[in-house]
Amino acid sequence: MQPHDFWQDVHPPGSFDPAGPFSGFYPATLDDGSQIRLPIRPLADGEHALASLIVNQASFDVQDALAADLAPKLAAHRPEVIVGLPTLGLTLAAAVARSLGFTRYVPLGTSKKFWYDETLSVPLSSITTPEQQKRLYVDPRMLPLIQGKRVALVDDVISSGTSIVSGLSLMASLGIEPVVIGAAMLQSERWHDRLDAFGPQWRPRVVGSFRTPMLKRAGEGRWAV
């Protein structure tokens, strides 16, 4: 596969062996059995790797499949509004909101507009951009849409847990406790400890389209669970 070929096709159930070992890609499996090929990214130690999803580079078919899988899982918690985390989570949040029949969603942002209030922000970093120390903002004009509402907080991937905890921190500063947290990919279990440290109520509220494991090297170019 070429690098630009990942995240472009939704394959029928049973197209790939989910047990591994894996070479070249990891087959993520949705609840209906359909599969999406994800690139495998070796970690710095050379002995472990993670499957990767860049949702805004995915085809519309893949984005639609992820949203269709995630939407009913969020709907079970009866959200009244979808709040999306930047940057990649905004693509998924918009698609999920449409799938749920909402007419809009509320995007959080990292770019401070001149009318923003610094008190309506928290520090933000992520696994994909750990060297970039940003702030997570909510547009003050959006507050009436989320305060006093049943909020679903959506990101593309939950990996280290830093981004989702920043989102929860911002919501908490506004007096909001999301009823559910959604993501397309729940990447390994590294995020468990950070989320648990923020509060024991949060991990049971997390839903995802699929989960991916931490992979271990199993020979040259091969990876196993």
Left, alpha or beta for 217 (phi > 0: left; psi -120 to 50: alpha)?
Answer: beta
Q: Which domain holds residue 125?
A: 53-214
The residue length of the chain stands at 225
Q: Are 38 and 62 in contact (CB under 8 A)?
A: no
Residue 26 lies in a domain: no
Residue 11 lies in a domain: no
What CATH number does the domain containing 86 carry?
Answer: 3.40.50.2020
Q: Are 50 and 215 in contact (CB under 8 A)?
A: yes
Residue 101 lies in a domain: yes
Cα–Cα dist 118/157, whole Å:
26
Tally of domains in the chain? 1
pLDDT in tens, the chain (225 residues): 899 999 999 999 999 999 989 999 999 999 999 999 999 999 999 999 999 999 999 999 999 999 999 999 999 999 999 999 999 999 999 999 999 999 999 999 998 889 888 888 999 865 555 555 789 999 999 999 999 999 999 999 999 999 999 999 999 999 999 999 999 999 999 999 999 999 999 999 999 999 999 999 998 889 999
Residue 18 lies in a domain: no
Cα–Cα dist 109/183, whole Å:
17
Residue 137 lies in a domain: yes
Instruction: Give SS3 for 78.
Output: coil
Cα–Cα dist 15/26, whole Å:
12
Residue 4 lies in a domain: no
Residue 138 lies in a domain: yes
Residue 97 lies in a domain: yes
Task: Enter the pTM of the model.
Answer: 0.92
